[in-house]
Amino acid sequence: MTKTIITRNVSKKYKMYSSQKERITDLLSPRGHGKPFYALNGVNFEADKGDVVGFIGINGSGKSTLSNIIAGIVPESGGEVLVNGQTALIAVAAGLDEDLTGRDNIELKCLMLGFSKPEIKELEPHIIEFSELENFIDMPVKSYSSGMKSRLGFAISVNVDPDVVIIDEALSVGDKAFAEKSLQKMMEFKHQGKTIIFVSHSIRQVKNFCDKILWLEFGRVKAFGEVKDVIPLYEAFLTKWQSMTREERNHYRQKVMQRDTGTDHYKQYGNLLLLEDEETLEGSHTYSIRPVSRLAHLKGDSTEIYESPDSDENTKPPQKYKNKVYYVKRESTYHFENYYLLSTKPSARDGVVGWIRSEETSSHAHTFVEHDKKTFTLLGGGFAASEPWGGQKQYIHESLEHHAGRTFQVDETVLVGSNIWYRGIIEGEETPVWIHQDHVIGEDETDRSDG
């Protein structure tokens, strides 16, 4: 993959002053005054071409600072930032001159991006139309509302066709209709393979739009990985954070910010990079086994069957296990993914095949109903299988077409999802088979067609 953004040990230091006098003294005196404050501290992060990365974190975590550094608006204090391509920062009033009109701002910003006067004249009508500010475009920007400023900045940025798009809370202001229109434009960019950085407090927007997440916590990287891995951790943290008192929050913040970044240790969990500083987060990547009762068969795009959920060795190719139904008596969660233990027998000990990601299977709950004996008549449709909800490799006959009218002596009934399956012996045969309820008729049913 082509790297479009690389940050290496990036830091951004500011100074905090107790008074205006201390600020002036710091400017005039060779001795340093003021207390250093790191908005970013040791940030390492990479994005590939086509990545859509959400920056998340509570207020003061450095999301906007990092996006401004990547956009080239603010210089880093230390470290290295490499960006491959033209960037566009879309934020409320980003790069707008309050004293100029909207039209003048279009020209100024496009000139700063390297466009010629004829190119700007060609772009201008499209920008004004997208912003929906036709009646206000020749008014000073200082008279605009925050939503109008966001519209103008957004319209300029998306119409210059950047390689890297950075959206900093720009979709959180203004009316809903324009936000939807803007999101549709972002989806176009996503489908075009542009790299997009999406800064937002809206978990819903991040889940729906982003592929990866960079979680910043008071200036340092807490986690980086796929949405499904990082968001559950962040939501758990938010629940914990919201329950803290003001004093507890201040203590937590100071503990994080005063820690030496040289002591930070990260661990890779599959596609997730996680800062190892809390036992609760570390513990979320172990797995525990839960008993379940399901039936499953493998999807066509299944990849591997594992010896254990956390195993990456001794895997089995799934090709030989396709088109058959398996019993699932054990379930586990690892790396925030569900795994099923497949078995050829209704047991978690006998006939075990191995563990597979649940999303790589089609499965239904398997519920025992009764052992009551019943007598049915075959309608001649469907198949008989060696297991309930059977796959092609478990069909006993090519079809039941030539068995119409035969009796079917049932001794077991189960529910697979919402479908009833019967286990019994077909008249004239000895081996028990499973048949779906749609292909049999009971003694008290007189008008039943093949389903």
At 243-255, the pLDDT tens digits run 888 898 888 888 8
> What pLDDT score was predicted for residue 208?
84
pLDDT band, very low/low/confident/very high, at 450 (cuts 50, 70, 90): very low
| Residue pair 138/102 in contact by the 8 Å Cβ criterion | yes
Mean pLDDT of the chain, nearest integer: 85
Alpha-carbon distance of 141 to 108, in angstroms, equals 13
Ordered structural domains, the chain, with CATH: 3-85+163-280 (3.40.50.300), 289-362 (2.30.30.170), 371-442 (2.30.30.170)
Q: What is the mean pLDDT of residues 71-89?
A: 90
Task: Give the CA radius of gyration of the chain.
Answer: 31
Strand, coil or helix: 13: strand
Report the percent of the chain where pLDDT is more than 90.
Answer: 41
Helix/strand/coil for 225: strand
Q: Coil, helix or strand for 133?
A: coil
* pLDDT tops 90 at residue 197: yes
Mean pLDDT of 275-296: 70
Residue 27 backbone dihedrals phi, psi, to 5 degrees: -75, -30
User: Averaged over 311-331, what is the pLDDT?
Assistant: 84
Full DSSP string of 176-219? HHHHHHHHHHHHHHHHTT-EEEEE-S-HHHHHHH-SEEEEEETT
pLDDT of residue 451: 42
Tokens standing for residue 156: 């300029």
CA-closest candidate to residue 385, choices 423, 412, 350, 343? 423
- Cα–Cα distance for residue pair 420/368, rounded to 1 Å: 10
Q: For residue 170, what pLDDT is reported?
A: 61
- pLDDT tens, position by position, 44-72: 999 999 999 999 999 889 998 999 999 88
